[in-house]
Amino acid sequence: MTDLYRLLPEEMEKMVTDMNHPRYRADQILYPLYYKFPKNISDLKQLPIAMRDQLIADGYTIGSAVEVHRVVSEDGDTTKLLLNLADGTPVETVLIQYPSSKIGGHPRSTICVSTQVGCAMGCIFCATGQMGFERNLKAEEIVAQVIHFANLLMQRGQHVTNLVFMGMGEPLANYDETIRAVRLLTHPRGFGIGQRNITISTIGIISGIDRLAEEDLQIGLAISLHAPNDMLRKRLVPTAGPHSVEDLIAAGKRYFKRTGRRVTFEYALIEGVNDSAEIAKELALLLDGNGSHVNLIPINPTAGNFQRPSRRNVLEFERILYNAGVNCTVRVEKGSEISAACGQLRTDIVG
Catalytic residues: 92, 342
User: Hey, which residues does 293 pair with through a beta bridge?
Assistant: 264, 327
CA distance 14 to 138: 21
* 115 to 63, 106, 121, 131, 297: CA distances (angstroms): 16, 27, 13, 15, 21
3-state secondary structure of 241: coil
CA distance 162 to 206: 25
CA distance 202 to 186: 20
219 φ, ψ (degrees, to nearest 5): -90, 155
User: How many residues are recorded in the chain?
Assistant: 351
Percentages (nearest 5) of helix, strand, coil residues in the chain: 40, 20, 40
